Structure 1
Amino acid sequence: MAREIKFGNRMMGDGHPAYVIAEVGINHNGDMDVAKKIIDAAAHAGADAVKFQKRTPEVCTPPEQQKQMRETPWGYITYLDYRYKVEFNEEQYREIDRYCKEKKIDWMVSVWDEPSVDFMEKFDTPAYKVPSASLTDHNLLKYVRKTGKPIIISTGMSTMEQIHKGVNIVGEDNLVIMHCTSTYPCEPEELNLNMIGTLRKEFPNNPIGYSGHEVGLVPSAVAIALGATSIERHITLDRAMWGSDQAASVEPGGFERLVKYIRVTEAALGDGVKKVYESEKGSMKKLRRVVSE
């Protein structure tokens, strides 16, 4: 079985350019104009897709947290009210759909609950993402699988046993597994990029990706060198904006550099077959004193 799957109009997996996902999440803070500016930045940078988050607040917000109060840009409100403030409705998602088509960039969402899957079935996105927090929600995994779309699962805050159980539940067909550490931002010592190789050995039929929350760009390029076939990083207009994910996000100029680093890394890896390049022959003629076969 080839380690590749069809993702919309292109292939993702070994032997194909890395699929770069710009994770908008809720960095738009419920503002459509901000969301569009982030989409613009992702498209300009050369990302393949932007990704949002879809929750049904009253379903996926734990009851003990719903009435907790917090300071927000909308005032001192309950956590449940805040969750509603950052959720886009159907009309807004239709505008996102239209705008992404105009900008020629894929879009998708992380689904956090079953009603959100039903909601998203109104749209023709290339895949569904199941976030790390929901990897152990086996009912949700089964529900997403029924859609027939490719699925991406993230593995943050999970043991290997939990990852295997999740994969067994959702099935290996049309499945991308993302290595992830769910700390925002994440220190280098906890990125554990060698897990990419571990996951490639554990799941030889599946493309393995990397969902990063570090500060900086280098680890994401290193992830490509270690075999990641997709990269997901949060994107924002300004890391100083309000929101819990902003500090672990990449600003537009940085995201443009990130995509360039990924493409340079891919080009530099080569095929592993030693050869004498045409460009070396001039140096060989000038510098090599002893010629041997």
Structure 2
Amino acid sequence: MRNHKIKIGNHCIGDGQPCFIIAEIGSNHNRSLKTAKRLIDEAAKAGVDAVKFQIYSAEKLYSKNVPKHSHYKNNLWEMIKEIETPRIWIPELKKYCDKKRIIFFATPFDQKAVDELEPYVDLYKISSFELVDLPLIKYIAKKKKPMIISTGLATMEEINEAYLECLNVRNHNIVFLQCVSAYPASPESINLSAMQTIKHAFNVIVGLSDHTLGFHVPVAAVAMGAKIIEKHFTLDKGMKGPDHPFAIEPKELKEMVSQIRDIEMAMGNGHKSGPRTHELENFCIGRRSIHAKMKIPKGSKIDENMLIIKRPGFGIKPKYLQSVISKKAKRQIDPDAWITWKMIEK
């Protein structure tokens, strides 16, 4: 498998690179530019790499005749209309993110949204529900910018169809995110192992778009190979709106980033090469070596009854026990002393 990497701004994404962490603001600004900027502020403080918004219009997203959803009181069309991100914000959001040194991008839900985002973004996101909108995927792929595609609800065949649309216009900068389109999603539904299934099937970078409560699942995903984590983010779970209840708040976001970075360091390089620098004291004190069980007079022949193996490890290694037995002591060896090669005849 080729060691594929994707460049986004100053970030390199792929195997051997840090996880790219996205705070999904989505519509949690509640149509307040001030709130949107506060969310960007908190995301930057938490140490994420990017913030993501959603750009849609109710007229192009839902029919007014859409059936009522069991989780929402209002008609879906009306709800979406209330939480649209004003498109006039796009230049200002980009400028503000640049000021905070954080990447701005968004999920466009129609071609007009793509056109409005194009001057301001270095990558695009495709939501799980739009994975089957192949004309939209093709339109975005033609921009030749990296695309992050969520795979909630999808079969491998549908993922392949979306992938081929990108390849057909020579856009190979594709990342697929394992995702479960439930809000919130239960941990048992997440199927983190699907990341590796997708990675090996399509030879792509993979990650997780997470809708579980808390942040333990995305941290685990990083240990399983996720190179991108996307997590919904809010200032307060109690705010009005469909995405606030399952989002994480600023303190949680900061802790998630910290734990992901800890996990990345903990994963190491896979090599076992003996004690690390910070283990050296324990290596000497905690390892075992051959000791005198009793007083061993100078010139006496050493037998097994005179010896005991215990800590510390400053003496002869236990694997050489048979080489020590029958040797003569070159000097008196006191009880409980560790035995070194200098104490016995060759």
TM-score above 0.5, yes or no = yes
1:91, distance to aligned residue in structure 2 (A): 2.9
Report if the CA contact (8 A) 1:180-1:211 is conserved.
yes
Q: Secondary structure at the match of 1:178?
A: strand
Instruction: Report the secondary structure of 1:193's partner residue.
Output: coil
- Mapped pair 1:25 → 2:26: yes
Q: What is residue 245 of structure 1 aligned with on the other side?
A: 243
Say what the alpha-carbon RMSD is for the aligned residues. Answer: 2.1
Q: CA deviation at 1:87?
A: 2.4
Residues 164, 95 of structure 1: alpha-carbon distance in 2 compared, 3 angstrom cutoff: same
Match of 1:149 among 145, 153, 176: 145
Equivalent-residue separation in structure 1 for 2:92 and 2:78 (angstroms): 23
Contact in 2 for aligned 1:186/1:213 (Cα 8 Å): yes
- Alignment of 1:134 with 2:135, yes or no, is no
Larger radius of gyration: 2
Amino acid of the structure 1 residue aligned with 2:141: R
Partner of residue 183, structure 2: 184
Please say if 1:274 is aligned against 2:272. Answer: yes
Aligned to 2:297: none
Which residue number corresponds to residue 104 of structure 2?
107
In 1, Cα distance between equivalents of 2:235 and 2:173? 32
For residues 170-193 of structure 1, give each alpha carbon's deviation from its aligned partner in whole angstroms, at most 9, with x where no partner exists.
226011111100111111110111
Over 3 Å counting, the alpha-carbon distance change for 1:160 and 1:92 in structure 2 is same
| TM-superposed deviation, 1:79 | 4.9
In the alignment, the residues of structure 1 paired with residue 173 and residue 5 of structure 2 have an alpha-carbon distance, to the nearest angstrom, of: 8
Q: What is the SS of the residue equivalent to 1:21?
A: strand
Count of residue correspondences: 285
Amino acid across the alignment from 2:173: N
**CA displacement at 1:104 relative to structure 2:** 0.9
CA contact (8 A) 1:130 1:152 kept: yes
Decide whether the 8 Å contact of 1:152 with 1:178 is kept in 2. yes
Equivalent residue number for residue 160 of structure 1: 156
Aligned CA distance change for structure 1 residues 285 and 146 (closer, same or farther; 3 Å)? same
Q: Is the 8 A contact 2:51 2:105 kept in 1?
A: yes
Query: What is the TM-score normalised by the length of structure 1?
Result: 0.91
Deviation of 1:82 after TM superposition, in Å, equals 4.3
Preserved contact between residue 25 and residue 52 of structure 2 (Cα < 8 Å): yes
Shift of 1:78: 6.5
Structure 1: 5+ residue runs without aligned partners?
none
Q: Can you list the C-alpha shifts for 1:200-238, whole angstroms capped at 9, x where unaligned?
A: 22122x210110000111111110010000100000001
1:4 aligns with 2:5: yes
User: Is the CA contact (8 Å cut-off) linking 2:138 and 2:166 kept in structure 1?
Assistant: yes
Helix, strand or coil at the partner of 1:11: strand
Paired with 1:22 and 1:128, the residues of 2 have a C-alpha distance of: 14
CA separation in 2, counterparts of 1:81 and 1:213? 23
Identify if the C-alpha distance between structure 1 residues 146 and 188 changes in structure 2 by more than 3 Å, giving closer, same or farther: same
Match of 1:91 among 62, 82, 88: 88
User: Percentage identity across aligned positions?
Assistant: 36
Q: TM-score, normalised by structure 2?
A: 0.78
Pairs within 5 Å for 1:183-262: 183-204=182-203, 206-262=204-260
Q: Tell me, what secondary structure is at the counterpart of 1:232? A: strand
**Secondary structure of the structure 1 residue equivalent to 2:270:** coil
Aligned residues of 2:150 and 2:177 also touching (Cα < 8 A): yes
Gaps of 5+ in 2: 290-316, 321-346
